[in-house]
Structure formats: structure tokens, C-alpha cells
Amino acid sequence: MTDELFMRRALDLAALGQGTTRPNPMVGCVVVGPAGTIIGEGYHQQYGGPHAEVNALASVEDQDLLRQSRVFVTLEPCSHHGKTPPCADLLIAKGVPEVVVCNDDPNPLVSGRGLNKLRAAGIKVSTGLLATEGRALNKRFFTMQEKKRPYVVLKWAESADGFLAGPHFQPVQISGPQAGLLTHKWRTEEAAILVGTRTALHDNPRLNAREWPGPQPVRITLDKNLSLPPSHHLFDGSQPTLVYTHRHRDARPNLDFITLPPDIAAAPDVLPAVLADLHARGLESVLVEGGPTVVGALLASDLWDEMRVFRSPRRLERGIAAPRVGLRSWRTAENVGEDKLFWFENH
């Protein structure tokens, strides 16, 4: 029970790195001294910065106590020289007798190596404590490592009668202000945000987080024939933007045009190639804000991880239909202002 509490504390610390460690995982670490109390804490704060173990061990005032301490860490300690020296070596050098790990490293090239190194040095090692919670915390990182694509969050707002836009693509405000605020928060939580060509054209979205503090996502749209008006907000250079196209256009500051190879461009669905390219760019997650064509393609090819649907109490009577999903399969449903938010997970 107490071990669980220590690991929970380590997970809470890890979560403080949300948004600043990506595409690295969030990692937390707690040092429990011989008296059974926490004598040191740390977390991975910044991509490229010191790992959680380094910060936690350094925070212990009496370094001699490390020889009688137990270290709780949320991810398998690294064993290779990356941007920083291996944490496994540090734990060994400090004489730590026991290490408790939450999640094994998902990278098959390094998985188990850190643990083996510790065990070979005579350190008592156990893994899997609160593993489910650890995977949930680092869902984006694990998806990126295991599926070689970003974590995909689908999001839209629909009317009570199942429409997400009026007839003839006329933009209508469907969800209320609280849903809008939450959407802006979500935009700070994902590395990228994607919309289809028609949404970019008709809604002219800014795709930034104006109503919530935090990092701005990379904006992404599809524009096969480069037909979107250059005066649209997406092309204003205010934040990094990627446009996937069949044509060629020179890059401008904060605006890149990515020409898809002819064989991919000819395919009916270019999204798998787009996701693979985002993965290659180290973008660990993408919030997909429609429209229904893009969302439908991702649903059909099972390239999604979460779906967040706002259902408004108001009716539209006619318009563009929202993707049909079994609303009974939601994991949670909650009220957000006047709207109902249904949250789905793809298992």
C-alpha cells in the first residue's frame, strides 16, 4: 500500500512535465530513505534536460543515505548515452540498493537493458507497480513508440439531431462557451492539430489556443491543389504550420508545404502517409478537429485513439451529418456548460 503511494507521488511529479518533455515521456522519481519517508523527489522537466532520476537523487541532502534508500521511478531507467549519461549508471554509482519501476521502456532496442544493468550490479529491481496508470499518463509516448504514429484525438461538436454544420458548409456555432474553452485547453495538450481542406476553407480557423495558456500546436491541413486562399488565418505565419499537397510551393517562415509522392497522392486516403510523416517529425499527438470526411477516414482505417464529442441541446434540422458512432460505447459522459461531452477510447 505505501509502495503504491510512493509510486503515485512519482506519477504526480511526472505529470508536471506535461507539454514540455515531448516527444520524451513524462517521468517522475521519488527517493524513500531508511526511515521510510520521502527524502528526495524529481521529474523530467524539459526535453533534453536532466532525467527524473538525476533530479531526484541530486535533491537528497545527505547523499550517504542513498546507500540505504529505495528509488521509485515511473519508467525503466535508461542504460544508453543519449542527451544525458545513463541513469542506470548513476543509480549504481550512488549505491542505491533497490529500484521500483512502474513501466518498462517500450522501445524494443533498449527495453529491459536498464533493468538488467541494475540487476547485474546487485540492485533489487521490481517493475509493473501502477503500470496501467503509468501507461495512461504517457499514452501519447507509448502510442508513438508502439504504433509508429502520433496519438490521434478526434474532436467535434454536433447538434441534438446529429449535424455538425449547416447546409452548404455555412459555419454555425454548435457548442457553448465552456466547450470552446475546453477545446482551447486541449489544443495546448497535443503537439499538433489537423483539419481537412473544406474545414480550412469554409471555417477559416486559427487553430491556436487563445483562451488557455500553454504551448501552441503545430497546425496541419490538407490542400491537394493548393486551392486554399493564402489570406486565410492558417497561412499567417503566426505558428508552425504544415500543408500536405500534391503540388510544390516554397516554404515560408512557419509555413511548410509537403509534397506527397505521386503514388501516395493518388491514393484515396492520404492520412496514413500524413501520420507517418508527422511521426518522422517527432510530433507525438494530433488533435483532429474535423471535418467529417477526415474524421470518417480515420475511423474507417482505425487510426484513432480517443474521440471527444460535444452534443449540443440545440437542433439544426438539416446540414452536414456528424460521423455515426455508437453513442453507447462512450467511456465517460459529463456536462460541459450547456453541452454533453462524450469521451471514447479505442481499445
Ligand X SMILES: NC(=O)c1ccc[n+]([C@@H]2O[C@H](COP(=O)([O-])OP(=O)(O)OC[C@H]3O[C@@H](n4cnc5c(N)ncnc54)[C@H](OP(=O)(O)O)[C@@H]3O)[C@@H](O)[C@H]2O)c1
Interface ranges with Zn ion (CB under 5 A)? 51, 78, 87
Q: Which of 105, 203, 277, 284 binds ligand X (CB under 6 A)?
A: 203
The residue among 222, 182, 215, 212 whose CA lies nearest residue 309 is 182
- Residue 195 sits in the site that holds ligand X (CB under 6 A): yes
- Give the span between the Cα atoms of 317 and 36, in whole angstroms: 64
Judged by beta carbon distances under 5 to 8 A according to partner kind, the member of ligand X, Zn ion, none in contact with residue 130 is: none
**Matching residue, cell 441541446:** 313
The residue among 42, 40, 55 whose CA lies nearest residue 12 is 42
Q: Which of 196, 218, 228, 239 binds ligand X (CB under 6 A)?
A: 196
- 292-300 and 271-280 helices cross at what angle (nearest 10)? 80
Q: Which amino acid is at 56?
A: A
Q: Is 165 marked within a binding site?
A: no
- Residue 323 sits in the site that holds ligand X (CB under 6 A): no
Q: Which amino acid is at 43?
A: Y
Q: Is 166 marked within a binding site?
A: no
| Closer residue to Zn ion (CB): 87 or 179 | 87
159 within 8 A of 175, measured Cβ to Cβ: no
Q: Catalytic annotation on 306?
A: no
**How far is CA 265 from each of CA 22, 272, 293, 319, rounded to the nearest angstrom?**
30, 11, 17, 30
The H-or-E segment that residue 309 falls in is: strand 306-311
Binding piece for ligand X, criterion CB under 6 A, among 21-29, 87-95, 169-177, 256-264: 169-177
In the complex, what is the shortest distance from the CB of residue 225 to Zn ion, in angstroms, rounded to a whole number?
A: 47
Options 41, 53, 76, 189, the catalytic residue: 53
Total binding residues for ligand X by CB under 6 A?
A: 27
In the complex, what is the shortest distance from the CB of residue 58 to ligand X, in angstroms, rounded to a whole number?
A: 47
Q: Is 247 marked within a binding site?
A: no
In the complex, what is the shortest distance from the CB of residue 82 to Zn ion, in angstroms, rounded to a whole number?
A: 7
- Give the span between the Cα atoms of 172 and 281, in whole angstroms: 34
- Residue 171 sits in the site that holds ligand X (CB under 6 A): yes
- Give the span between the Cα atoms of 288 and 294, in whole angstroms: 8
DSSP string, 82-141: SSS--HHHHHHHTT--EEEEEE----TTTTTHHHHHHHHTT-EEE--TTHHHHHHHTHHH
| Closer residue to Zn ion (CB): 51 or 70 | 51
**Matching residue, cell 495558456:** 213
234 within 8 A of 207, measured Cβ to Cβ: yes
Q: Is 203 marked within a binding site?
A: yes
Task: Note the residue count of the chain.
Answer: 347
- Residue 174 sits in the site that holds ligand X (CB under 6 A): yes
- Give the span between the Cα atoms of 71 and 33, in whole angstroms: 9
Judged by beta carbon distances under 5 to 8 A according to partner kind, the member of ligand X, Zn ion, none in contact with residue 78 is: Zn ion
| Closer residue to ligand X (CB): 11 or 320 | 320
Per-residue binding letters, 279-318, with ligand X (x by CB under 6 A): ----------xxxxxx--x---------------------
Q: Which of 164, 193, 220, 307 binds ligand X (CB under 6 A)?
A: 164
What is the side-by-side order of every strand in the sheet holding 38-43? 38-43, 28-32, 70-75, 98-103, 124-126
| Closer residue to Zn ion (CB): 45 or 208 | 45
- Residue 167 sits in the site that holds ligand X (CB under 6 A): no
Q: List residues binding ligand X (CB under 6 A).
A: 156-157, 164-165, 169, 171, 174, 195-199, 202-203, 222, 224, 269-271, 289-294, 297, 320
**Residues contributing to the annotated binding site:** 51, 78, 87, 157, 187, 199, 203, 207, 210, 289, 291-297
Q: Which residues are catalytically annotated?
A: 53
**Residues contributing to the annotated binding site for Zn(2+):** 51, 78, 87
**Residues contributing to the annotated binding site for substrate:** 187, 203, 207, 210, 289
**Residues contributing to the annotated binding site for NADP(+):** 157, 199, 291-297
